[in-house]
Amino acid sequence: MKIEANELRNGNIIVIQNKLWLITHTQHTQPGKGGAYIQAEMKPLGEGGKRSERFRSSEHVERAHLEEVSMQFLYRERDAYVLSDQRTYEHFSLTKKEFNGDPAFLEDGMILTVTVYEGRIILVKLPPQVILEIAECEPSLKGQTATSSYKPATLSNGIHTMVPQHIEKGMSIVVNTQDCSYVERAKR
């Protein structure tokens, strides 16, 4: 689907030379002399690196036709992660490289939002927050629970994070999957 360059937004995926590019930043510029243009920073999906591209405001770019599908994480098999499409029950296998998130947050049965392009999985979105148990942390000291200081902790999936002083081993907490940060104590 063709769109005008001035319709580009962060998070859009476009096709340039048969490659998919994720728009990470756009800036509309109206110079004093000459026509307006869009400066877009992009990164290729499934690869490293990034690219900066300048489009004339009226120029047309190809926006990728994407489909978002709910898939369930079934299990890990050696170096692959097996997902099941919720509609067709078809199974898909992804490697850690193809999985663009931290697979340490995956739990059996977790529902993920998967972006598909031409029958191929290109993006896997984890839920924004998950509930995990504290596997290891320093004990709380009396009187330090009123301060806003943090201490290191290891979660049940092996990830390290910082938690408030009142959190103890065995407690369940809500963790942000984007940056592995503490959100709140779980209300279980």
110-150 pLDDT, tens digit per residue, is 898 888 888 888 888 888 888 889 989 888 766 655 567 88
Q: Are 9 and 28 in contact (CB under 8 A)?
A: no
- Which tokens hold the place of 148? 């806003």
Place of tokens 């998967």: 114
pLDDT at 138: 84
- pLDDT category at 41 given cuts 50, 70, 90 is very high
Task: Work out the percent of the chain whose per-residue pLDDT is above 90.
Answer: 5
Alpha-carbon distances, residue 91 vs 71, 84, 94, 125 (angstroms): 9, 4, 10, 17
Q: Distance between CA 46 and CA 33 in Å, rounded?
A: 38
Give the count of beta carbons closer than 10 Å to the beta carbon of residue 38.
21
Q: Distance between CA 37 and CA 26 in Å, rounded?
A: 10
Mean predicted lDDT score pLDDT of the chain: 85
Structural domains of the chain ordered from first start = 2-63 (2.30.30.30), 67-125 (2.40.50.140), 129-185 (2.40.50.140)
pLDDT at 143: 62
* DSSP secondary structure letters along the chain: -EEEGGG--TT-EEEETTEEEEEEEEEEE--SSS--EEEEEEEETTS---EEEEEETT-EEEE---EEEEEEEEEEETTEEEEEETTT--EEEEETTT--S-GGG--TT-EEEEEEETTEEEEEE--SEEEEEEEEEPPPPTTGGGS--EEEEEETTS-EEEEETT--TT-EEEEETTT--EEEE---
Of residues 63 and 145, the one with the higher pLDDT is 63
pLDDT at 146: 58
- pLDDT category at 12 given cuts 50, 70, 90 is confident
Q: Are 68 and 123 in contact (CB under 8 A)?
A: no
- Which tokens hold the place of 163? 């938690």
- Mean pLDDT, rounded, for 163-182: 87
